A = this chain, B = another copy of it.
Amino acid sequence: MKEFFKVTDLETVFNYRNAFERVSVEKADLTDAIGRILAEDIVAEEDLPDFARTIVDGYAVQGASTFGASEGNPAYLTITGNILMGQSPEFEIAPGEAARIATGGMVPRGADSVVMIEHTEIIDDTTIEVYRSVAPGQNMIAVGEDIEKHAAVLNKGQIIRPQEAGLLAALGRQQIAVYQKPVIGIISTGDEIIPITEKPRRGQIRDINSYTLAGLIKAAGAVARSYGIVKDNFEMLLEKCKLALDQCQMVLISGGSSVGSRDYTVDVLSALRDAKILVHGISISPGKPTILASVNNKSLWGMPGHVVSAMIVFLMVVKPFVDHLGGRSATEGGVQRLQAKLSRNVASKQGRVDFIRVGLRKEDDGLWADPVLGKSGLISTMVNANGLIQIDINTEGLEKGAEVEVIPI
């Protein structure tokens, strides 16, 4: 190592997020907007619905006309109309009157509730018996009951789920402002790394990190751009970094886990104009040798080379930066941790945050988390895992049976 570096704790690392500007905003068609991050606050410009709708098939009535009705003592109402779907009825409902209406139909003026067809019987062409009373407002949706005009309904920074798309459709929003997807470059480095298209000679290994990182980037809602493999060569790495920084909002240099590669990454950062190393080592395991630099307001990460470390660092450290760049509000997406019991003791060093790979197993007494052991160079351990547990900086380890929160991966 060129110099001893002082590791940074995770919380301090996250504070650097605000050093980086969010991506720009673009317009998207509603059909393409699902999964994107909303870039405008949505205020309803109309009541939803803007007319009273029935939610059952039956008869629109004045509730008072049915008060006291029962099987033994039905109310008799006069049919004065039939409401067509999608039409605004011209007539009005008076006491003792009823109009035939189907689910979704508009409740006419005068009526304040709907009797379900199951609670009625037709006596003749103009008369029905009603066996149950309805209260005003029953079996219908009032004007503005879903959304009131002028209500603030969605916030900038929210992810657009299917239901938000439905709400936007209801409000007639064909196009909406969303944040662009951050473009993230991946540069693989290392003299021993070869493209997956090649047959490795002894001592060579295929490029794994480009694929795992591209997958994680995509899952984080961003766009991965691969810059291929760069040998441990200062000039080549510098050129490739400049190119990637030019074309991307964030660049990950992956694979440089050897002393030589680490040196090149630091040298390249020093040679880049306006580059500033913010973090050189993080108090986490795996992932300690991670580097974060700011170059002209873009973030450049020196990722650890081991496949497991690179994945965990992306998920636990880089992803919150991707969320920030992509406009996602900080309160979003934090809650999804699964409760489980740990199936064996796990050791951990104080003074650092440990991330333990686990496999989840469902038993009668709930979920159990089985630690997946194995070196952080083994991709098979991540294939066997479907979660991570985080052991905090002041905890010395966890005992078998401990309640843990599992981050699904």
Contact = CB atoms under 8 A, between A and B. Distances in A.
Interface of A: 30-31, 34-35, 48-51, 53, 55, 57, 84-89, 102-106, 117, 141, 145-147, 153-154, 161-174, 190-194, 196-197, 199-216, 218-219, 226, 232, 257-260, 305-307, 311, 334-339, 360, 362, 366-367, 375-380, 382-383, 385-386, 408-409
A169 B30 contact: no
Contacts of A382: 163, 166
A214 B33 CA distance: 11
Nearest to A34: B215
A336 to B, nearest CB: 6
A146 B338 CA distance: 28
Contacts of A207: 169
Nearest to A224: B31
Contact of A169 (B89, B161, B206): B206
B383 A104 contact: no
Contacts of A35: 218-219
20 contacts: A34-B214, A34-B218, A48-B379, A55-B377, A86-B190, A103-B257, A103-B258, A103-B305, A106-B202, A141-B377, A146-B377, A153-B383, A161-B409, A162-B213, A165-B214, A166-B211, A167-B208, A169-B196, A170-B206, A173-B196
Contact of A166 (B104, B259, B379): B379
A168 B211 contact: yes
A153 B219 CA distance: 23
Contact of A85 (B258, B366, B376, B409): B258
Contact of A153 (B53, B57, B307, B380): B380
Given A106-B203, A379-B167, A162 B212 contact: yes
Nearest to A202: B88
Nearest to A169: B211
B170 A208 contact: yes
Given A145-B378, A166-B208, A170-B205, 14 more contacts: A53-B377, A55-B375, A84-B191, A85-B260, A89-B203, A102-B258, A163-B382, A166-B307, A167-B208, A168-B211, A169-B196, A169-B208, A170-B379, A338-B338
A329 to B, nearest CB: 14
Nearest to A117: B259
A162 B85 CA distance: 49
A356 to B, nearest CB: 16
Contacts of A57: 258-259
B216 A104 contact: no
A161 B215 contact: yes
Contact of A259 (B102, B196, B197, B216): B102
B105 A167 contact: no
Those 5 A-B pairs whose CB atoms lie nearest each other, nearest first? A162-B215, A102-B258, A86-B192, A88-B202, A163-B382
Contacts of A85: 190-192, 203, 232, 258, 260
Contact of A212 (B165, B204, B260, B311): B165
Nearest to A360: B335
A183 to B, nearest CB: 15
A141 B336 CA distance: 34
A86 B202 CA distance: 8
Contacts of A89: 203
A34 B219 contact: yes
Nearest to A31: B214
Given A55-B306, A86-B192, A335 B367 contact: yes
A73 to B, nearest CB: 26
Residue among A311, A375, A380 with max Cβ neighbours from chain B (10 Å)? A380
Given A214-B31, A382-B163, A50 B200 contact: yes
Contacts of A409: 161, 163
